[in-house]
């Protein structure tokens, strides 16, 4: 796109994490629906133009100059935004939607000699040759993580489905939104005042120390290099992520909510505790009688957690904070009750919002990614670009009605993204639509497909079991819970 940008944001924090060294991170929201797919196909061109006017980030481009990564945001002009750039249809035949998502996320999106990514958003409608009203079809939103987060994808999907099912879409006069929201770290106050430089220096050294441990990971990994293009001097080797998808029983979300509410806990605390237990069972530590501390990178939606910011619940961009969560001690598998562990993980999660958590982490990431010498040191210490063993993202419940004018209805939603350069070795995702099933996804580099599937399936069985009021009571210990999962 050869025209001047309305505004340019220099990426030097966590947003740069997703594209530095010539890497890319593509998020996929896979929406599973029933209803009239032809209405979506017919009205998509009009809806796309409304979305481009409504959300400035959809009019953005990633531009690379030497080691600088910039997000250019343009004024709206239909001449430069053809519908084909943002929407396509695929007739599903031999290839599954799962394979389409994995292939697209791992596909190199750079153009112009690896200096540009445009567009940063794309809808794909996947339907069957003999599509009927009751047969599920799929709407996939692909977006670049440097420009948007998982919540932004949900907002865009709801806007899109609302528009394509609207009876007055063609008469709609959509105003052009020109507000440019800042990048996330600019809205988070830097903590510790004059002591911050020293604390940041110590934190960077600790990060490098932790990265050295990845040379001997607890979860065995095997990298798959991407060899689709020649590596230039400013780029490092890029790697492929493998994907797994599954859905729970149809009433799990409701049952788990009831269990957690009776213990005055969040659903997230149970999901996170099950993840720790699945790691313990599938990738044992030396002392298998205790649940040992294990660091997991966690994502937090910051839209409503930044006092005085201009963000709203419908802001589209990258507004996620991240922090490493880790138990501060080991717990006995035999005597610790599951709901005691869940209460502990909820406390750790809440403490992440304090200044020594997300605010510190976000600003330390800025210090690392804006200084090429520091970034090079971090990259050299880490193993093949990995920055951790496990990541976790709970997008939560779809916050909008699932029925759109009785024309289409959402039945499920999977969220996932790759990590071609800097990434955790494995990342687990959880979403929910309505009060029914939980949808799980996993991006991984686990050494064998069999071990990855075993771990993924075991985690889901753990969640199903802890949601059962008979199998997981107030008194149920970790040992008893694991035994019940093993017996099924």
- Does residue 379 have a pLDDT over 90? no
- Does residue 231 have a pLDDT over 80? no
Percent of the chain with pLDDT over 90: 80
Q: What residues make up the domain containing 99?
A: 7-171
∠ CA 95-98-100, nearest 5°, is 60
Choice among 63-67, 228-232, 277-281, 450-454 with the minimum mean pLDDT = 228-232
How far is 412 from 398, CA to CA, in rounded Å? 10
Same domain, 225 and 143: no
Same domain, 114 and 203: no
Under 8 Å between Cβ of 316 and 301: no
Residue 86's pLDDT band, with cuts at 50, 70 and 90, is very high
Question: For the residues 353-365, what does the mean pLDDT come to?
Answer: 90
Question: For the residues 58-86, what does the mean pLDDT come to?
Answer: 94
Same domain, 300 and 431: yes
Question: For the residues 443-469, what does the mean pLDDT come to?
Answer: 97
Instruction: Give the highest mean pLDDT range of 172-176, 177-181, 224-228, 240-244.
Output: 240-244
Same domain, 150 and 279: no
Same domain, 203 and 156: no
Question: For the residues 191-215, what does the mean pLDDT come to?
Answer: 92
pLDDT value at position 232? 59
pLDDT value at position 2? 66
Residue 60's pLDDT band, with cuts at 50, 70 and 90, is very high
Residue 74 sits in a domain whose CATH number is: 3.30.559.10
Same domain, 165 and 203: no
Is 181 part of any domain?
Answer: no
- Does residue 229 have a pLDDT over 60? no
- Does residue 230 have a pLDDT over 70? no
Is 21 part of any domain?
Answer: yes
Question: For the residues 99-106, what does the mean pLDDT come to?
Answer: 97
Residue 481's pLDDT band, with cuts at 50, 70 and 90, is very high
Pairing between β-strand 403-404 and β-strand 408-417 as defined by DSSP bridges: antiparallel
Alpha carbon dihedral 306, 180, 149, 172, in 10-degree steps, equals 120
The domain total for the chain is 2
Question: For the residues 30-46, what does the mean pLDDT come to?
Answer: 95
Same domain, 127 and 242: no
Describe the strand order of the beta sheet including 296-301 as a list of residue ranges: 242-247, 438-444, 423-432, 386-397, 296-301, 320-325
Residue 445 sits in a domain whose CATH number is: 3.30.559.30
Is 186 part of any domain?
Answer: no
Same domain, 201 and 241: yes
Residue 359's pLDDT band, with cuts at 50, 70 and 90, is very high
Same domain, 74 and 197: no
Q: What is the pLDDT of residues 308-347, one digit of tens each?
A: 788 999 999 999 999 999 999 999 999 999 999 999 999 9
pLDDT value at position 236? 82
Same domain, 270 and 406: yes
Q: What is the pLDDT of residues 396-406, one digit of tens each?
A: 999 999 999 99
Q: What is the mean pLDDT of the chain?
A: 93
Is 176 part of any domain?
Answer: no
Choice among 24-28, 286-290, 455-459 with the minimum mean pLDDT = 286-290
Is 2 part of any domain?
Answer: no
Residue 414's pLDDT band, with cuts at 50, 70 and 90, is very high
Please give the distance of CA 147 from its chain centroid, rounded to a whole number. 13
Same domain, 440 and 394: yes
Question: For the residues 255-279, what does the mean pLDDT come to?
Answer: 97
Q: DSSP assignment of 51-103, as one string? A: HHHH-GGGGEEEEEETTEEEEEE----GGG--HHHHEEEEEESSS-HHHHHHH
Residue 163's pLDDT band, with cuts at 50, 70 and 90, is very high
């Amino acid at each position: 796109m050869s025209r001047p940008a309305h505004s340019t944001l220099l990426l030097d924090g966590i947003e740069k994490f997703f594209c530095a060294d010539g890497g890319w991170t593509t998020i996929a929201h896979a929406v599973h629906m029933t209803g009239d797919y032809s209405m979506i196909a017919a009205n998509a061109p009009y809806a796309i133009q409304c979305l481009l006017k409504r959300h400035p980030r959809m009019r953005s481009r990633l531009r690379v100059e030497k080691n600088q990564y910039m997000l250019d945001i343009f004024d709206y002009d239909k001449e430069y935004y053809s519908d084909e750039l943002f929407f396509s249809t695929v007739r599903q035949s031999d290839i599954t939607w799962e394979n389409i998502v994995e292939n697209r996320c791992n596909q190199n999106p750079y153009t112009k000699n690896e200096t540009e990514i445009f567009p940063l958003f794309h809808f794909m409608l996947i339907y069957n040759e003999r599509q009927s009203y009751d047969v599920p079809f799929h709407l996939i939103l692909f977006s670049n993580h440097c420009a948007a987060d998982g919540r932004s994808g949900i907002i865009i999907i709801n806007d899109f489905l609302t528009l394509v099912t609207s009876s007055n879409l063609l008469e709609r006069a959509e105003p052009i939104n020109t507000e440019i929201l800042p990048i996330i770290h600019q809205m988070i106050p830097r903590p510790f005042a004059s002591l911050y430089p020293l604390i940041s220096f110590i934190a960077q050294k600790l990060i490098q120390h932790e990265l050295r441990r990845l040379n001997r990971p607890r979860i065995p990994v095997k990298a798959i290099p991407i060899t689709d293009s020649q590596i230039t001097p400013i780029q490092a080797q890029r790697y492929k992520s493998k994907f797994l998808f599954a859905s729970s029983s149809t009433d799990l979300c409701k049952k788990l909510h009831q269990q957690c509410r009776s213990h005055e806990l969040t659903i997230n605390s149970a999901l996170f505790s099950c993840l720790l237990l699945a790691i313990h069972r599938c990738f044992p530590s030396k002392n298998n009688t205790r649940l040992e501390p294990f660091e997991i990178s966690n994502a937090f939606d910051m839209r409503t957690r930044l006092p005085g910011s201009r963000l709203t619940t419908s802001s589209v961009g990258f507004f996620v904070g991240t922090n490493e969560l880790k138990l501060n001690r080991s717990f006995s598998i035999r005597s610790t009750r599951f709901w005691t562990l869940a209460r502990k993980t909820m406390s750790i999660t809440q403490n992440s919002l304090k200044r020594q958590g997300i605010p510190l982490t976000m600003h330390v990431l800025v210090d690392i990614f804006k200084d090429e010498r520091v970034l090079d040191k971090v990259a050299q210490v880490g193993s093949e670009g990995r920055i951790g063993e496990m990541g976790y993202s709970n997008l939560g419940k779809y916050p909008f009605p699932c029925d759109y004018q009785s024309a289409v209805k959402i039945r499920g939603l999977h969220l996932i993204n790759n990590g071609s350069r800097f990434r955790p070795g494995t990342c687990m995702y959880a979403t929910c639509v309505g009060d029914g099933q939980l949808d799980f996804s996993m991006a991984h580099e686990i050494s064998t497909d069999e071990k990855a599937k075993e771990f993924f399936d075991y985690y889901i069985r753990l969640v199903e079991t802890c949601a059962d009021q008979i199998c997981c009571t107030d008194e149920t210990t970790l040992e008893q819970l694991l035994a019940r999962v093993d017996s099924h």
